[in-house]
Amino acid sequence: MCGIVGVLGNHEVAPILVEALKRLEYRGYDSAGIATVQDGRLDRRRAVGKLVNLSDLLVHDPLPGKSGIGHTRWATHGGPTVANAHPHRTGRVAVVHNGIIENYKDIRALLKDTAFESETDTETVAGLCEAHLARGLTPREAAVETVKALEGAFALAFLFEGEEDLIVAARRGSPLAIGHGDGEMYVGSDALALGPMTNRITYLEEGDHAFVTRDGVEIFDAEGRRANREMREVAGTAAVADKGGHRHFMAKEIFEQPTVLAECLAHYAPGSAVEISGGKIDFVRTDRLLLVACGTAYYACLVAKYWFEQLAGLPCDVDIASEFRYREPPVSDRTAALFVSQSGETADTLAALRYARDKASTILSVVNVETSSIARESDLALPIMAGVEIGVASTKAFVCQLAALANLAILAARQKGRITAAREADLVAELRRIPALVNQALALEDRIRQHTGDLARAQTVLFLGRGAMFPLALEGALKLKEISYIHAEGYAAGELKHGPIALVDKSVPVVVLAPRDALFDKTVSNMQEVMAREGRIWLVTDPAGARTASDGVWQTLTMPEIDPLFAPILYAIPAQLIAYHTAVHKGTDVDQPRNLAKSVTVE
């Protein structure tokens, strides 16, 4: 996905745009650019790679102007080159875009006289708008006619030659916020980007377009009617996201986990029982729960399946969002659907929600960004209280997703009469222990760091787990591969002998995530099978497990004791630290790994 920003300011906007783009860089960092209008003249600067390259360019080749738009790109159509960098422009219009224009080839075919310089879909938008200007439409009219012709998902901001007090904004499928300043106005992909300028935000709704001037904003709905959209004060965006003394945002966010986890747990169970407000959830009438997400959030759903089924006896289907609606799952009015998403903007998850919306009895979501599209389109959005997560690799959001899901599963168990109040109090109390246990697990960082050098040299790494630790093995593998670029796979430990064990030799580290639970002895057998083939085991277990199964293993990491039911929350910490320090050993870009973006708002 990409980040877009626009400013109608009273001061030079170039530095303001760059500052806003810094806060959007987590959305994509293949290239960046800005455009401004100065004395009626439209101009732009663009650079490939990180935002710092654009900043450097602007030092040597400044761009004056008090009206401007900016963009940071995650490449969809066309590689990361200057020619493909936004803003795209023609003679009189510049455009920045987040999303995908699906009919851009058809539009290009209509614009035979336009010499396109890029491979992008976005340049087609500028070309079409220019064509409308050429036939005499005003900038507002030209932008509106252009948007009408587009198919696909987009958030767009248009800037026009000769128009120093106008930005036209439009959204369909990708979020877009309007910021209200004092004599200034702003446009941004999210409130975080606008945090240094304002916390007064109006979110455009699906299909809206808006004419933004320094006096304010006129918003029109998908049918072209004037629309009133709520302006709200969005908290927590003004604080400049910094690393808090850590080397990377990811490290900062790993070490924030005890605090944010405690806040999340206290939010859902301030006393000895789960309290979920904000909407009626009726698990009594629910005979099936669909859990749908992508990536790390999907693995959180896989863990939660064990909790909903074991505690509440509630059958669960867990789907990868990009697969969900295409398998056409039967959804009855006794089926509830739950969508998990840190950003709340993941296109596949949002599309899955919209598929289920008029079929399922209830649309629930577990999100970190409470003003996101997924949150706003849910019957009830459950916040995870993790705070802004900048590192592309999700860490604190994952454990807070698990915490929220665990509380929801306990609520389901109570409503279905499967647990007593005393049992609920015990479960809540065990969850409340976890932040302190996370602190103890974080204290193992040096132990972990000492051995990740070996992992950094591996060509492939396996992660094994059983029961609810199997999804954690999947998550551990994802963490490692997405930031260290080392191939890693997570497997159910019992599945190893059905093929993957062919991968095992002395060059293959195998990370086993296994508290001493009812399945532990079976996992030990799998470990023996690995060691019989010279595989190197890194056993992550508790003291009882370490006492009984450390013989012959390469490394043992002893975790604090925890009820195995909730072990996936705690054991996420070593999985994160193993990935983090392996990546640091390799010198990869931990916070902005190649090819990735923090939230994928394109399908």
Which residues are marked as active site?
2, 598
Is 341 near ligand AGP (CB under 6 A)? yes
Q: How far is the CB of 133 from ligand AGP (least distance, A)?
A: 37
> Would you give the end-to-end CA distance of the chain in angstroms?
10
Is 394 near ligand AGP (CB under 6 A)? yes
Is 342 near ligand AGP (CB under 6 A)? yes
From 244-252, 336-344, 422-430, 488-496, give the range in contact with ligand AGP by CB under 6 A. 336-344
Q: How far is the CB of 67 from ligand AGP (least distance, A)?
A: 32
From 407, 600, 601, 602, residue interacting with ligand AGP (rule: CB under 6 A): 600
CA angle (448 as vertex; 447, 454 as ends), nearest 5: 115
Judged by beta carbon, residue 54 or residue 385, the one nearer ligand AGP is: 385
Rounded to whole angstroms, the Cα distance separating 104 from 114 reads 13
From 13-21, 146-154, 342-350, 453-461, give the range in contact with ligand AGP by CB under 6 A. 342-350
- Segment holding 97, helix H or strand E: strand 93-101
Is 68 near ligand AGP (CB under 6 A)? no
Q: How far is the CB of 146 from ligand AGP (least distance, A)?
A: 29
From 173, 175, 295, 383, residue interacting with ligand AGP (rule: CB under 6 A): 295
- Segment holding 540, helix H or strand E: strand 536-541
229's tokens = 């959209």
Judged by beta carbon, residue 297 or residue 404, the one nearer ligand AGP is: 297
Judged by beta carbon, residue 131 or residue 392, the one nearer ligand AGP is: 392
Strands 209-213 and 167-172: what pairing? Answer: antiparallel
Q: How many CB atoms lie within 10 A of CB 557?
A: 20
Binding mask 345-364 for ligand AGP (x = CB under 6 A): -x--x---------------
Is 599 near ligand AGP (CB under 6 A)? yes
Q: How far is the CB of 452 from ligand AGP (least distance, A)?
A: 18
Rounded to whole angstroms, the Cα distance separating 113 from 102 reads 21
Q: How far is the CB of 596 from ligand AGP (least distance, A)?
A: 6
116's tokens = 């396109």
Residue 146 in contact with residue 140, Cβ under 8 Å?
Answer: no
Judged by beta carbon, residue 312 or residue 384, the one nearer ligand AGP is: 384
Token pair 């840190």: residue? 342
Is 601 near ligand AGP (CB under 6 A)? no
Residue 59 in contact with residue 44, Cβ under 8 Å?
Answer: no
Instruction: Report the interhelical angle of 257-268 vs 396-415 (nearest 10°).
Output: 20
Whole-angstrom CA distances from 461 to 88, 126, 184, 464 are: 42, 46, 52, 10
Is 294 near ligand AGP (CB under 6 A)? yes
Which residues does 392 contact at the CB level (< 8 Å), separation at least 6? 26, 482, 483, 591, 592, 593, 596, 597, 598
Is 296 near ligand AGP (CB under 6 A)? yes
Query: Closest Cα partner for 177 from 369, 28, 364?
Result: 369
Is 335 near ligand AGP (CB under 6 A)? no
Task: With CB under 6 A as the rule, give the number of residues binding ligand AGP.
Answer: 15
Whole-angstrom CA distances from 490 to 107, 284, 521 are: 44, 35, 19
Q: How far is the CB of 502 from ligand AGP (least distance, A)?
A: 27
> Alpha-carbon torsion 69, 167, 371, 365, what sign?
negative
Is 257 near ligand AGP (CB under 6 A)? no
Q: How far is the CB of 535 from ligand AGP (least distance, A)?
A: 26
From 31, 343, 582, 601, residue interacting with ligand AGP (rule: CB under 6 A): 343
Is 302 near ligand AGP (CB under 6 A)? no
Site for ligand AGP, residues 473 to 532, rule: CB under 6 A: 482
Q: How far is the CB of 250 from ligand AGP (least distance, A)?
A: 9
Judged by beta carbon, residue 210 or residue 338, the one nearer ligand AGP is: 338
Give Cα 370 to chain centroid, integer Å.
13
From 63, 297, 539, 577, residue interacting with ligand AGP (rule: CB under 6 A): 297
Q: Omega into 509 within 30° of 0, i.e. cis?
A: no
Rounded to whole angstroms, the Cα distance separating 408 from 291 reads 12
Residue 336 in contact with residue 353, Cβ under 8 Å?
Answer: no
Rounded to whole angstroms, the Cα distance separating 356 from 379 reads 12
Judged by beta carbon, residue 393 or residue 412, the one nearer ligand AGP is: 393
Is 76 near ligand AGP (CB under 6 A)? no
Judged by beta carbon, residue 146 or residue 343, the one nearer ligand AGP is: 343
Reading phi first (left if > 0) and then psi (alpha if -120 to 50, else beta), residue 428 is in: alpha
Q: How far is the CB of 160 from ligand AGP (least distance, A)?
A: 34
Judged by beta carbon, residue 297 or residue 353, the one nearer ligand AGP is: 297
Is 393 near ligand AGP (CB under 6 A)? yes
Judged by beta carbon, residue 126 or residue 193, the one nearer ligand AGP is: 193
Q: Which residue is nearest to ligand AGP (CB)?
A: 295
Task: Summarize as ranges the residues that interact with ligand AGP (CB under 6 A).
Answer: 294-297, 341-343, 346, 349, 392-394, 482, 599-600
